[in-house]
Amino acid sequence: MALFSLAVLCSGRGSNLQALIDATSTGTLPARIAAVCSDKPNCTALTRARQAGIATRSLRQRDFPDRAAFDRALFADAAQFAPDLIVLAGYMRIIDPAVVAQWQGRMINIHPSLLPKYPGLRTHQRAIDAGDAEHGASVHYVSAELDGGPVIAQAALPVVAGDTAETLAARLLPLEHHLLVATARLIATGDIALEGGRVVRDGRPLPAPLRLAVDGKLVAA
């Protein structure tokens, strides 16, 4: 039986990508990363991928007439590797709805907030400004709505006195890594899927997103 295959899309430093690379190399995540694709040809994520011996592809939007044409081309590159799942790990672009529809139920994203709170950017500062006691990250299936697809799992941490956007982001990042790996593992093993627009686990709809426990496992909220 072929190993579950991932294509990872990144735009930046690739720390979540590195967590996936490490997890696949140790067997913690029973999958292989077939390719890493990016809209930023010089991003650190591509360097990490090449160092790990993973195929890379990159395109620049300025070489295409519009966003939709760029998205079709980049996702066509990813599709050449026949991934079972596309993982958006710090991919900082809104994807054309027609392209999203082609990958419905086969594409996930990690976002630094407890969705549905704070879709989009500046999530850490927005949580602080709102006086939230808790902040976190979410992994969700991708839909045409920005950060709006069904949420699979979340990791949470307290917002403490004196937190800045930078300190909050730094404390959250390790949890993001564990969350993404744990979620990808459940999808790779077939425990989690998207059916009828709802997240199901072992064939049963999840009443609420799973939560990351201290042991790194995902448990019922």
Q: Which residues are catalytic?
A: 111
Q: Beta partners for 79?
A: none
Of 4, 14, 160, 151, the closest CA to residue 83 belongs to 4
Beta bridge partners of 141: 108
| Structural tokens at position 219 | 């448990």
Q: What is the 3-state secondary structure (H, E, C) of 133-195?
A: CEEEEEEEECCCCCCCCCEEEEEEEECCCCCCHHHHHHHHHHHHHHHHHHHHHHHHCCCEEEE
CA distance 67 to 81: 22
User: Strand 210-212 to strand 218-219: parallel, antiparallel, or no bridges (unpaired)?
Assistant: antiparallel
